Amino acid sequence: MPYSLWLARVAAIALGAALPLAFAPFDLWWIAPISLAGLFGLWRDASPREAWHLGYAFGLGMFSVGVSWIFVSMHHFGEAIVPVAGLITFVFAAVMAVFPALAGYLAARLSPEHSAARILIAMPLAWMLLELIRGEFLGGFPWLNLGASQINSALAGYGPVFGEYGMSLAVVMTAALLVMLFSRRAWWLTTLTLFTGLALWLGGSTLRNIDWVEAAGEPISVAIVQGNVEQSRKFDPQIFQATLDLYRNLTDTQAADAKLVVWPETAVPDTVEQAAPFLIEMQDTARARGQQIVAGVFDQDQAGNYYNALLTLPVEGGRYYKRHLVPFGEYLPLRFLIEPFRGLIQVPMSDLTSGRDDQPLLQLAGHPVGASICYEATLARKINTALPEAAFLLNASNDAWFGDSLAPHQHQQIAAMRCLESGRWMVRATNTGISALIDPQGQVVARTPQFAQAVLRGQITPMQGSTPFVLWGAWPIWILSIFGLLALALATYITAERRRR
C-alpha cells in the first residue's frame, strides 16, 4: 500500500477524533465543518476503495472518541472488566464507522475524481444519506449527528424548518464549499463559492429571527427534583426507603408551591405495585396542594411485562410507557457480538418491554404534554408524534449510567435540538444531572450541577402552533439525498457512455 495512503488514513483518524469537540461539553461548533472539509479533501481524488478506507478511518476516530462513554457504562455500571468493556466499545465504534465509509464509497462511485460534482453534490448528499440511515438502522443511533453541534451557531435557524438533519446538511455544504474555495478553480467560481457560503450562513441567521409558534397560556411554575442517588446503589433494597424519603423531603421543602414537580427516570426504583403506599401518600399530598407530580417508576401489566414508565400524581394526568429503549441500559444492541461476554457483564433493566406508539398524551397543568424517557429525546420522529398537540415537552432521564463522561452533556444538547425543532419548552429531569429548563430556541435557561442534590425552580410557557419541521419532518432531506444521488448517478452514466462513443 502506498505510503501516502497510510498518511491519509492517519489524517482521517485525527480529523474524525477532532469532530466530537464540536459537540457539548466543548461546544466548538466551528470544528464540525472544518473537520468534515478535511475528510472531503481526502475523498476528492480517491478511488471508491480508497474513499471507503478513509471514511472508515474517519468514523473510527469519530465514534471512538464521541461514544467513549460506552466504556464507562460497561465497566463502572455493567461490571465488565476493562478488556471486555474496551472491546465492546471498540466493536461498537468499528460498526458505526461503516456509515462514513459507505458515504465515501458511494460518493466516489457516483462521481469523477476532483470534479465539482463530487465536491458539491456527491460527498454532501452521500454523507447525509448515511447519517439519515444511521438514525433508523436497528432502531436508530443518531448520536453525533452534525446538526446537533450547531445549536449555538447561525445554522440553528434551519432547525425549525428542516430539523437536525437540515442543520447537518448546512454543515456538509459548508465543508464542501470550503474544499471548493481552496481548490484551484477559475476566479469566478471561487467568488461564487464564497458568496454561496455567505448566503448559507446569513440565511440561517435570518431564520433565527422568525417566531414559528406562539404562547398558548400563562407561564407554569415548575420544579425539577434531582435526587443524585448513586447509580451503583440505586436498586439496592437497603436504601429503597431512604430514596423515597429523599424525594418526598426535597419536594416538601423546596417544591411545595410549584404547579408541576418532575422527578427523574426511575426515581422510584421499583414497580407501581410495590411502591403503592408511598405513591398514594404523594398523590394525596399533591392533590391537597393543587399540584401535579410526575414520577419515574417501573410498571407491570397483567401479562407480566415490565415498562419504564412515568406516572402522574394524581393519576388522572395519565401515565407514559417508554417506547424506545436505550442501548446498553435497557437492552443490548449487537447482541450477537456481546452474547459471548454476557457472563462477564451485569446490565440491570436489560429486558424491558417497549410501550406503544399510540399512547395518549399526559395532561399536565391543564395542557397536553409530549413525554419522553432518556434516549427517546434523541429521536425527533418519536417526539413529533406528540406534536403539534403538545404544549411543551418533558424528558426524564438517568444519565448516571454514564458517569462523568461526555454522554450527559451530549444528551442534553440532543434534547435541546427537539426544542429548537418543535418550538416548545422542555422540562428535563435527571437523577445526577444535567437537569434543565430549555426554551423553544434550544437554549438552556437554567440547569443543575452534576452529582449534587438539587431542586431547580423556574417557569415555562405552553406553546401552540407548528414549525415547518413538525409538519414535514425529515422527508425533504431524505428526498433531496436520494433523488440528488440518483440524478448524479444517471448524469455520470450518460457522460461515460458518450465518452465511450
Query: Which helix H or strand E contains 101, and what residues bound it?
Result: helix 98-109
Residue 164 falls in the annotated catalytic set: no
- Using alpha carbons only, give the angle 30, 384, 121 rounded to the nearest 5 degrees: 45
Give strand pairing partners of 428.
395, 436
Which runs of consecutive H residues, i.e. helices, occur in 221-323? Answer: 240-254, 276-289
Phi-psi region of 65 (alpha: psi -120 to 50; beta: other; left: phi over 0): alpha
- Close Cβ partners of 336 (under 8 Å, ≥ 6 residues apart): none
| Beta pairing, strands 392-397 & 367-373 | parallel
| Beta pairing, strands 292-300 & 306-313 | antiparallel
Give strand pairing partners of 298.
271, 308
**Catalytic choice (50, 164, 259, 322):** 322
DSSP-derived secondary structure letter, 116: H
**Catalytic choice (234, 330, 374, 421):** 374
Residue 218 falls in the annotated catalytic set: no
- Using alpha carbons only, give the angle 242, 244, 245 rounded to the nearest 5 degrees: 60
Residue 322 falls in the annotated catalytic set: yes
- Close Cβ partners of 207 (under 8 Å, ≥ 6 residues apart): 157, 158, 160, 161
Query: Collapsing DSSP states into helix, strand and coil, what is residue 79?
Result: coil
Q: How far apart are CA 365 and CA 348, in angstroms?
A: 34
The sign one gets for the Cα dihedral 57, 61, 62, 68 is positive
Kindly list the catalytic residues: 265, 322, 374
